[in-house]
Structure formats: structure tokens, C-alpha cells
């Protein structure tokens, strides 16, 4: 794999942190529940320290690294890569429609509304293989959901997301697609490339020192909504692609794999239907 240019941790990390901090997260956790979760989390950590005989120098390096993650603005990156996939699995326990996957740090609400058959905003000379991604949104009984929206966002072929890198015009490779009367959509875009999470800051040091790799397979991000239905946040991957079997963010599920077929005109086409659970 040739190395692709990647967003700097300083730039995309700071942008992702600023976006998240503006939204001011809240949860209605009771003091009792907070106490129980915090006590178990600390006990789990104590178990790891015991088991590995963690030393004072290691403890101090950890302290320094935690400070660095914060000052580089990398908490959204690190948490969404190493923790979010498990929160997602718990959140969608018992759900039977389309599988979810992690949101990651680069969702921006309010992307341009586009008709059911559309082309995502992109540069005039956007690099990448053309992709037409089509499908239908239905409920668990198979009834189409004509009021659904399919929000889509993905990286360009160098791994940059608009709004999080200075070299991408705002709004490109993002859209809020309004499905037609039969719940159908057909979105023209480009096929993203595998994505290297920013690796020039403390998340990267951590990955390198541990001998891991910083790659995510190429992916489309989706958020599908309809009135009275549970919103599904998910990702779709390309079957057989690099890193599909070894995603640094552990966010691939076999049900979320696309197998596009490239036509004589050089356009890759694929269908994928979304099934929403009741809210
Ligand atoms: C990260 C980036 C992504 O595009 C994604 O889908 C998940 C995580 C990250 O850099 O943390
Ligand atoms: Fe992503």
C-alpha cells in the first residue's frame, strides 16, 4: 500500500474536538448509576494494573499521554476508534433492522438536502472511481418509508472529510437525500479510499508503539431517519477491500459489506436497502 497524504492530527483533531465541544453532550444518568459505572471502570483498570504489574514510569507516561491527547484535541479521534464500537453494539442490542456502526468524529448535521436521484456535491475534478449507490428504505414489515432521509458523508480519495480539513471545500461528499414515494434513492458519488486515522499525534504514537496499524477500510457513513422509526447510524464497506478484515476501529460487520459491479462505462453500481426498527 502506498502511503497516502493524511489529515494532520493537529488540524482534523482540533476541528473534531471543537465541533463536539460546541454540542455540549448531556445524559440523564442518575448519581447511583454513575457511581456504579465509575466504580466498575476503576476496578477493571485496577485489575489490569495488577495483572501486568504496571510500573511508576509507565503510570507517568500514561499521565503525560492523556494530557497530550487532550492538548492535541484528539479525544474524539481516540475514543471513536477504540471505544465507540462497543457502545454502539450495546445501543443496538435487540434491534432487528439494518445493523448500526460507529458514527466517528466527522458527522456534520444539516448537510444539503438532495432529491432521491442525486449527485453529491464534489469538486469539478473530484478524483476517484464513480459510484452509484442505490436502494430503498423500509420498515420491518417491508413497507417503504417515503418520508425517510438518507444522510451520507464520506472521505475523498486522500482520506479527507469536508469541514475537517483545509483542502476540502465545505459540504463536499455530504448530503441529506430525500427518498422518493417508494422509499427509493440513487446517489452518485465517488468511491472513497481506505482511511488512515491521523497518526502524527498521540493517537499515532500509541498505535506505533504498540505495533498496531492506523488504517480503516474504505467506507461510506450513513444516518437513516424516518418518522416513528429508530434512526440508524451505520457505515458500509467494500467487500474484499483492504483492511475490511482488520479495521483499527473494529467497526466492520459482515452485513454492512457492499459488492459493487463496475459497468462498461466504468461506473461502479451497488444496491443496499435499509430496514428501520420502530422508535
Ligand atoms: C475516525 C475516523 C473515521 O472516518 C471513522 O469513521 C471513525 C473514526 C477517527 O479518526 O477517529
Ligand atoms: Fe469515517
> What is the distance in A from the centroid of ligand 2 to the CA of 54?
34
The 10s digit of each residue's pLDDT in 51-85 is 999 999 999 999 999 999 999 999 999 999 999 99
Q: How confident is the model at residue 10 (pLDDT cuts 50, 70, 90)?
A: low
Select the more confidently predicted residue: 10 or 119. Answer: 119
For residue 85, the SS3 value is helix
Q: Give CA torsion, residues 113, 118, 123, 129, to 10 deg.
A: 140
CA distances to 10, 21, 25, 84, 105 from 18, in Å: 12, 5, 13, 19, 11
Q: Please tell me the CATH code under which domain 1-279 is placed.
A: 2.60.130.10
Residue 180 has pLDDT above 70, yes or no: yes
* Beta-bridge partners for 144: 138
> What is the distance in A from the centroid of ligand 1 to the CA of 249?
7
Ligand 1: residues with CB < 6 A are 77, 80-81, 102, 104-106, 195, 197, 216, 249
Residue 1 exposure: Cα atoms within 13 Å on the Cβ side: 14
Kindly report the length of the chain. 279
Whole-number pLDDT of residue 23? 83
The 10s digit of each residue's pLDDT in 191-246 is 999 989 888 899 999 999 999 999 999 999 999 999 999 999 999 999 999 999 99
> CB neighbours of 156 closer than 8 A, spacing ≥ 6?
126, 127, 128, 168, 172, 173, 190, 192
For residue 184, the SS3 value is strand
Sketch the domain layout of the chain as residue ranges: 1-279
For residue 71, give the DSSP letter. H
Residues 78-106: what's their mean pLDDT? 94
Whole-number pLDDT of residue 167? 86
| Closest ligand to residue 207's CA | 1
Percentage of the chain with pLDDT > 90? 84
Average pLDDT of the residues of the chain: 93
Whole-number pLDDT of residue 13? 73
Whole-number pLDDT of residue 5? 43
Which residue from 216, 219, 252 has its CB within 8 A of the most atoms of ligand 1, so it is best to mutate?
A: 216
Identify the H or E element spanning 87: helix 84-91
Query: Which residues line ion ligand 2, judged by CB < 5 Å?
Result: 104
Amino acid at each position: 500500500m502506498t502511503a497516502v497524504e493524511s489529515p494532520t492530527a493537529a488540524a482534523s483533531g482540533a476541528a473534531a474536538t471543537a465541533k463536539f465541544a460546541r454540542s455540549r453532550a448531556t445524559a440523564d444518568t442518575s448519581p447511583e448509576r454513575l457511581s456504579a459505572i465509575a466504580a466498575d471502570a476503576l476496578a477493571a483498570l485496577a485489575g489490569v494494573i495488577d495483572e501486568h504489574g504496571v510500573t511508576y514510569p509507565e503510570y507517568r507516561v500514561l499521565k503525560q499521554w492523556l494530557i497530550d491527547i487532550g492538548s492535541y484535541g484528539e479525544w474524539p479521534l481516540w475514543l471513536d476508534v477504540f471505544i465507540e464500537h462497543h457502545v454502539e453494539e450495546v445501543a443496538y442490542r435487540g434491534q432487528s433492522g439494518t445493523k448500526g456502526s460507529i458514527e466517528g468524529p466527522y458527522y456534520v448535521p444539516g448537510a444539503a438536502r438532495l432529491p432521491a436521484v442525486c449527485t453529491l456535491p464534489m469538486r469539478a475534478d473530484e478524483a476517484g472511481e464513480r459510484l452509484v449507490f442505490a436502494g430503498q428504505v423500509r420498515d420491518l414489515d417491508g413497507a417503504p418509508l417515503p418520508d425517510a432521509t438518507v444522510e451520507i458523508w464520506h472521505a475523498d480519495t486522500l482520506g479527507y472529510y469536508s469541514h475537517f480539513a483545509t483542502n476540502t471545500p465545505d459540504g463536499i461528499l455530504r448530503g441529506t437525500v430525500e427518498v422518493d414515494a417508494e422509499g427509493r434513492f440513487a446517489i452518485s458519488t465517488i468511491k472513497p479510499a481506505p482511511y488512515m486515522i491521523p497518526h502524527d499525534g498521540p493517537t499515532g504514537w500509541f498505535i506505533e508503539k504498540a505495533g498496531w496499524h492506523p488504517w480503516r477500510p474504505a467506507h461510506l457513513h450513513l444516518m437513516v431517519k424516518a418518522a416513528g422509526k429508530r434512526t440508524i447510524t451505520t457505515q458500509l464497506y467494500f467487500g474484499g477491500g483492504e483492511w475490511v478484515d482488520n479495521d483499527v476501529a473494529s467497526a466492520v460487520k459482515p452485513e454492512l459489506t457492499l459488492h459493487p459491479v463496475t459497468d462498461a462505462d466504468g461506473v461502479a453500481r451497488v444496491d443496499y436497502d435499509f430496514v428501520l426498527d420502530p422508535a
